[in-house]
Structure 1
Amino acid sequence: MDRWQGIQHVVVVGLGITGLSVVNYLRKFHPQIEVKVIDTRENPPSKEQLPANVALHSGGWNMDWLLAADLIVANPGIALATPQVQQAIAANIPVVGDIELFAWQVQKPVVAITGSNGKSTVTDLMGVLGNAGGIKTSIGGNIGVPALDLLSEDSDLYVLELSSFQLETTSSLKLKAAAFLNLSEDHMDRYDGMESYRQAKLRIFEHAETLVVNADDRQTYPDSNIANLVSFGLDNAADYYTKENQGQEWLMAVDEAVLPSEELSLVGRHNVANVLTVLALLKAAGIDYSDSLLSALKSYTGLTHRCQVVEDKNGVKWVNDSKATNVASTLAALSGLSLEGRLYLMVGGLGKGADFSSLKPVFATLPLKLCCFGADGDQFMPLHSSARRFETMEQVVKTIHSELKQGDMVLLSPACASMDQFKNFMDRGEQFAALANQFADK
């Protein structure tokens, strides 16, 4: 079936990295199609990189362009509920995302991962181990490289991290395996409740050969019984699990003992669950646990911006967990901590309508100094008696560095999005690392 038959005019809604990748893909694979871009921002990112023959309307909507389109490709940040998009849908104009275009084009096997937390680590580790196992593997989607840009890499396996936003506009992505890691409150400023958020995530299973679910989180299971279901779990009976043997905990793949947990470089119980997920995905993709693959697994230390030690001087650790953009992610970071002194925890940013109260009982168990900053920093103030309010992350570091003693830890794990004061969570993490570098010696 030629999905492009009859399509002459495409409107891309939202520029940035993803929108530009859509434009470049269309220019390369469908040069006969007229492409226009709408971005409501006055000066959208990637504007300078747009090809000269692609028209841009910025600073608002252009409904004439939108309603004259044969196909609309919406950026994941544009909700389908947006009135202008709804008007186009009512006019029977199809609205898709970049992942759907990827699905129409890709010829090689694809594995995809979604979940509220851990999906970037699982995606990255799957890419590392796929390559270590002798399969040319590329990763992208919601992490790093836009999915459409991966097509030029001619890989043997593509691994995609997919957000609920991306899945909303994806309907025909065929997957060798799909994993739904966990579900916790996030993006409540976009969805009308947890069930809507969950249903968006469950779309990942629609055309998957193997469905990987979390035995410890029943919300990750599809609503109807599926025969090709594989589970991972730490606390419940699962296909991929941990087992004590002669005083050691082993990672188990069905009945195969793969590796003692203590041989992992990754820290924290949440990362043991992440590794079990990857073992399930590797098996589903037909990749053996070779010696070279297991060696790469043992040496893997995790992602930048996720529980990453950026400075360790004078007995003080500075840890960048900027990728913790929701409550569950911060809770996961706190569960894996080993502390000798005090914990200076930096929280705040854009709260996205979240309820932060579940942090309070965990805070109570820690030798905590709570440092609250950013747009929604006030929401954290009632959660611990030590809480102090700052405007910026820099102000926090400049204030606390003179108080630090041997054994202390400074942890940026904000539980919030970053766009109130930073370009993205990477920018926030890089600025934290720079501050740590500047003040760790003082």
Structure 2
Amino acid sequence: MNDWQDVKNVVVVGLGITGLSVVKYLDRYHPNIAVKVIDTRENPPGLSELPAGIACHQGGWCNEWLAAADLVVINPGIALATPEIQQVIQTGTPVVGDIELFAWHVDQPVIAITGSNGKSTVTDLTGKMAAATGLRVAVGGNIGIPALDLIDESVELYVLELSSFQLETTSHLKLKAAAFLNLSEDHMDRYRDIEGYRQAKLRIFNHAQAAIVNCDDPLTFPDTFSGAVVTFSISQAADFSVQYIDECEYLVADGRPVIACDQLKLVGRHNLANVLTVLALLQHAGIGYEKGLDTLKSYTGLTHRCQVVADNRGIQWVNDSKATNVASTLAALSGLTLKGTLYLLVGGVGKGADFSPLAPVLNSLNVRLCCFGRDGQQFMRLHPAAKQYETMADVITDIAPQLSEGDIVMLSPSCASFDQFQNFMARGDAFAALAHQYA
């Protein structure tokens, strides 16, 4: 459904950044539609920024408003399985998210990226390399700016990071190229099993011309797909791969060397896979990435993602706060060169995850495991040199006097942050501040 003429009443469920972007979009482009907001929080973020005349029901549900709606737009943080939303679906009223509204509106080319890990880096780098070719590019979605806030007639290419939550309510997004980077256990408090999580992510390919998939993770392949399936791999033959040429390791596209791996500033093998994905996305969106290679060479990655925030007395402090699941922490550890002791900070809100896959990797490292936050206790059994703390600040206060040259202090928590912080960015900023205090 993308015919607005029958829509007279819209209910936006969930405010915050995304909900506010939906309200502002409707106010700008569909001013004759009546809009109401429901948020079960008593004082939802964004409330003071609502346009004049928009009613907001706070602190619970308003079934009367839902029953009268022609269209319900829900925040990605609200599961479709929520009983009140299921009741709406059963009456036949469409329930969509902000990305579906974006899909109805936009005619310009769109690239999109999903996956359990690495999607923010791929999205950011894709946008920067595309912009380096001279295109007017807008980047956002699940990273940075909400998709509806990006809409501008002058934009020549949109690059979106999409979460499984966003994809659940998206049905008509047409994409020049879409990438599914990898799949690992995450959000098991939302999905029945990992297959349910996978199926949500596979929706990214529903209307894509090219599907960029990971040879090293067959679960990223679509079950059925009529367009071009394009593969990448850092360990085997693929359309975009890593190969040795004259004893030098290169990123290779369709058999052609693109750039030597040692020319990249990004750290870790997982980032080679990320760059291969970017090259594949750009090529299959019809964008000549050659003009963006200087941008690629100078790219150092995202804040909060394997970011060295302090390096003093030979001690490195690494902010990997965006590692909110086990696979992301494993990726950070796989790219690590360690001369001394690794002080690894883990913990927060575990989201029902199994942390045991960390144990064999930790046992191969000279590591002190520093566990904090609500679910920190769950990490204690993973390594004999594990110690529990209440907060991240408690960890740093304890270990700072013990640090010596060659040591690395890394925040890569494998958990969400909202037990003690507003978001992973706030957690990373707090770590960086502590690093500068003690470095």
TM-score range, shorter chain: over 0.9
**Residue range with higher mean Cα deviation, 399-408 or 74-83:** 399-408
Alignment map for 1:231-270 (pairs within 5 Å): 231-270=231-270
* Structure-2 separation of matches of 1:404 and 1:152: 50
User: Displacement of 1:189 after TM fit?
Assistant: 0.2
What secondary structure, in the 3-state scheme, does the structure 2 residue paired with 1:165 have? helix
Give the corresponding residue for 1:410.
409
Q: Report the residue type matching 1:14 in the other structure.
A: G
Q: Which residue of 1 is the match for residue 61 of structure 2? A: 61
Contact 1:343 1:411 in 2 (8 A): yes
- Rounded Cα–Cα distance in structure 1 between residues aligned with 2:224 and 2:131: 34
Mapping for residues 413-428 of structure 1, pairs under 5 Å: 413-428=412-427
The alignment status of 1:78 with 2:78, answered yes or no, reads yes
Q: Does residue 1:429 correspond to 2:428, yes or no?
A: yes
- TM-score (norm. length: structure 1): 0.98
Letter in 2 for 1:268: G
Report deviation, 1:153.
6.9
Contact 2:208 2:227 in 1 (8 A): no
What is the identity, as a one-letter code, of the residue corresponding to 1:435?
Answer: L
Corresponding residue of 1:276: 276
1:149-164 correspondence runs (5 A): 149-152=149-152, 154-164=154-164
8 Å Cα contact 2:109-2:158 kept in structure 1: yes
Deviations 1:222-268 (A, max 9, x none): 11254511100112221001111111011111022100111011011
Q: Write the letter of the residue equivalent to 1:352.
A: K
CA distance in 2, matches of 1:211, 1:344: 39
What secondary structure is seen at the aligned counterpart in 2 of 1:43?
A: coil
- Opposite residue 174 of structure 1, the aligned amino acid is K
Show the counterpart of 1:317: 316
Alignment length, in residue pairs? 439
- Unpaired runs of at least 5, structure 2: none
Say whether 1:363 aligns with 2:372: no
Once residues 324 and 188 of structure 1 are traced to their aligned partners in structure 2, the CA distance between those partners, rounded to angstroms, is 16
TM-aligned CA distance change 1:436 to 1:45, over 3 Å? same
CA distance in 2, matches of 1:82, 1:286: 41
Distance in 2 separating the partners of 1:129 and 1:2:
32
Query: CA–CA distance in 2 between the matches of 1:9 and 1:51?
Result: 16
- Residues 249, 349 of structure 1: alpha-carbon distance in 2 compared, 3 angstrom cutoff: same
* 1:328 aligned residue: 327
Match of 1:200 in 2: 200
Q: CA shift at 1:94, angstroms?
A: 0.6
Identify if the C-alpha distance between structure 1 residues 382 and 153 changes in structure 2 by more than 3 Å, giving closer, same or farther: farther
Contact 1:23 1:35 in 2 (8 A): yes
Q: Deviations over 1:362-417 (max 9, x none)?
A: 00011101100001000000001111111111111111111111111100000000
Residue deviations 1:141-196 (CA, integer Å, cap 9, x gap): 00000000000373100000000000000000000000000000000000000110
Residues 316-350 of structure 1 deviation map (CA, whole Å, 9 limit, x = unaligned): 11100000000000000000011111000000000
Question: In structure 1, what residue type is equivalent to 2:436?
Answer: N
- Equivalent-residue separation in structure 2 for 1:225 and 1:176 (angstroms): 14
> For 1:403 and 1:58, how far apart are their aligned partners in 2?
49
Instruction: Tell me what 1:19 maps to.
Output: 19
Partner of 2:182: 182
Amino acid at match of 2:176: K
TM-score w.r.t. length of structure 2:
0.99
1:268/1:335 contact within 8 Å kept? yes
Q: Is the 8 A contact 1:372 1:387 kept in 2?
A: yes
Residues 2, 314 of structure 1: alpha-carbon distance in 2 compared, 3 angstrom cutoff: closer
Please say if residues 343 and 409 of structure 2, whose CA atoms lie closer than 8 Å, have aligned partners that are also in contact.
yes
Partner of 2:304: 305
Structure 2 distance, partners of 1:85, 1:336, is 43
- Give the Cα–Cα distance (whole angstroms) in 1 for the partners of residues 406 and 281 of structure 2: 39
- Structure 2 distance, partners of 1:270, 1:201, is 20
Distance between the aligned counterparts of 1:225 and 1:30, measured in 2?
A: 35
Answer yes or no: is the 8 Å Cα contact 1:138–1:153 preserved in 2. no
- Does the Cα contact within 8 Å between 1:343 and 1:409 map onto a contact in 2? yes
Shift of residue 59 of structure 1?
0.7
Distance 1:224 1:143 in 2: 28
* AA partner of residue 369 (structure 1): R
Give the match for residue 134 of structure 1. Answer: 134
User: Which residue in 1 is equivalent to 2:52?
Assistant: 52
Per mean C-alpha deviation after superposition, the further-off stretch among 386-395 and 145-154 is: 145-154
* Partner Cα separation in structure 2 for residue 366 and residue 132 of structure 1: 40
Matched, 1:352 2:351: yes
Secondary structure of the structure 2 residue equivalent to 1:5: helix
- In structure 1, what is the equivalent of residue 390 of structure 2? 391
CA distance in 2, matches of 1:418, 1:106: 34
1:56-81 deviation line (CA, Å, top 9, x unaligned): 11111111111111100000000000
Residue type of the alignment partner of 1:379: Q
Shift of 1:289: 2.9
State the match for 1:439 in structure 2: 438
| 2:12 match: secondary structure | strand
8 Å CA contact retained: 1:22, 1:148: yes
Q: Deviations over 1:110-165 (max 9, x none)?
A: 00000000000000000010011111111100000000000037310000000000
Q: Distance in 1 between matches of 2:412 and 2:153?
A: 34
1:111 aligned partner, one-letter code: I
Q: Secondary structure at the match of 2:384?
A: coil
Matched, 1:110 2:73: no
Does the Cα contact within 8 Å between 2:209 and 2:227 map onto a contact in 1?
no
Q: Secondary structure of 1:93's partner?
A: coil
Partners of 2:70 and 2:113 lie apart in 1 by 30
CA contact (8 A) 2:23 2:35 kept: yes
CA–CA separation in structure 1 for the residues paired with 2:152 and 2:396? 43
In the aligned structure 1, how far is the partner of 2:202 from the partner of 2:407? 41
